[in-house]
Amino acid sequence: MDFQFNEDQREFRALLREFVDREIIPVARDWEHSGRYPTEIVDGMREMGLFGITIPEEYGGLDLDPVSFALVFEEIARGWMGIAGILGSHSLACRMIAMRGTEEQKRKYLPDLAAGVRRTGIGLTEPDAGTDLQGIRTTARLDGDHYVVNGTKTWITNARYADPLPVLVKTDPTTTPAHKGMSILLVESSLDGYEVTKDLPKLGYKGTESCEIVLDNVRVPKENLLGGVEGKGLQHALSALEWGRVNIAARSVGIAQRAHDEAFAYAKQRKAFKQPISDFQAIQLKLGNLSTQIQAARLMAYWAADAVRAGRADGATGMAKIFCSEVALEASIDAMKIHGGYGYSTEYEVERLYRDAILMSIGEGTNDILRTVVAKSVLSGETVVR
């Protein structure tokens, strides 16, 4: 077993780290507190080609392997998790179009998406349907050469920039089981009746917007049905979410690593009783546990990414998402405790890390739901634990 990155991956990681240290870390805290959109950071990611990480080279993308994909999100989340969100939803949607779209759809959208000229996200969640995607109410009725779409989507990352937005709809609301009547439409933002109605305020995950979108009799051309076949929408969405769980696991490792770095730096410079607090055994116990847990989470995240490379990996990605997200939260809390009262202050990084870490246990499927996914995978023999 090889637990090392290859030379290309090491060089790529070094490039990412330099970008994060130079362009993200110096401004993240101030921009997050002010609510400023990170336009310059987005431009930098565009120049690096990062909007094409899941797009095949023939359409202008980088076509990264899953391990390199995870590298991107660990490093960016180390700087500012919200920035990773901007790239994450875009990348999953691009992969879905690249893997499931018709050749015409790929030629039309992927080159501009790879270049960052267009951006995108994923329109799945609704006010009454999150984890249970089969419970969505958004419908698409075929009328001649167009689908007429009605419904509401919520918590949509990149909503104000997505064009097109892949939207999960029911093209046949009467079919049972419900997933057989679900499809994905590539909805362009210029269409009449498509409106981003509001931004949703959040505890953390700042930097990127999370919005509600209303679709009121939006007429979407029939050729924008992803893959050109109805009834495959949930399958398309779930295939993207498998990469999404690697994304969340890697983001969690990035948050945990930053908490680790902040805790160690503070423990070495903060003095109590005329000595650095890092000299006290109680602090050393926390620091030692923090380092151990983060390294375990990192290995879990990249193991899951490699499992995706090898084939279907619901169990592995579920395990990684659960474990890494919980390590991120534990690491951020321990970093706050090591900082003492300063950890509760917005002048220090760790309170932001805490607010961002909480979302990791919710996004891409709550951890409790994923525990059932893992159990079923092990029971079926798809995932072997030994």
Q: What is the pLDDT of residue 87?
A: 96
Give the integer Cα–Cα distance in Å for 336 and 259: 8
For 365, the token pair is: 């499927």
Cβ partners under 8 Å of residue 172, min gap 6 = 180, 181, 230, 231
Considering the four listed CATH numbers 1.10.540.10, 3.30.390.30, 3.40.190.10, 3.90.180.10, the one that applies to the domain covering 7-115 is: 1.10.540.10
User: CA 262 → CA 78, 85, 281, 338, 353, distances in Å?
Assistant: 11, 22, 18, 10, 10
Confidence of residue 51 (pLDDT cuts 50, 70, 90): very high
Residue 317, pLDDT > 70, answer yes
Q: What is the pLDDT of residue 363?
A: 86
Over residues 172-189, mean pLDDT: 94
b/e 164-187 (16+ beta carbons within 10 angstroms → b): bbbbbbbbbeeeeebbbbbbbbbb
Contact between 225 and 102 (Cβ < 8 Å)? no
Over residues 217-222, mean pLDDT: 98
Task: Output helix, strand, coil percentages for the chain, rounded to the nearest 5.
Answer: 60, 15, 25
Cβ partners under 8 Å of residue 38, min gap 6 = 24, 27, 31, 80, 82, 83, 86, 207
Q: What is the pLDDT of residue 111?
A: 98
DSSP secondary structure letter of residue 146: E
Q: Which class is domain 133-230? A: mainly beta
Strand partners, 123: 167
For 12, the token pair is: 């790529």
Residue 2, pLDDT > 70, answer yes
Q: What is the pLDDT of residue 310?
A: 86
Residue 1, pLDDT > 90, answer no
Residue 294, pLDDT > 70, answer yes
Residue 262, pLDDT > 80, answer yes
Over residues 180-193, mean pLDDT: 97
The residues carrying an active-site annotation are: 364
Overall fold of domain 235-380: Butyryl-CoA Dehydrogenase, subunit A; domain 3 (1.20.140)
Select from 314, 175, 339 the least CA-distant residue to 263: 339
Confidence of residue 132 (pLDDT cuts 50, 70, 90): confident
Give the integer Cα–Cα distance in Å for 142 and 262: 55
What residue ranges do the domains of the chain occupy? 7-115, 133-230, 235-380
Residue 129, pLDDT > 90, answer no
For 216, the token pair is: 């009121």
Over residues 302-326, mean pLDDT: 92
Over residues 40-52, mean pLDDT: 97
Phi/psi for 111 (5° steps) reads -60, -45
Over residues 55-71, mean pLDDT: 96
- How many CB atoms within 10 Å of residue 299? 14
Give the integer Cα–Cα distance in Å for 272 and 135: 56
- Chain centroid offset of residue 134 CA: 21
Q: What is the pLDDT of residue 307?
A: 92
* Residue of 384 and 247 predicted with greater confidence: 247
For the chain, give the mean pLDDT: 95
Q: What is the pLDDT of residue 251?
A: 98
Q: What is the pLDDT of residue 239?
A: 85
Q: What is the pLDDT of residue 215?
A: 98
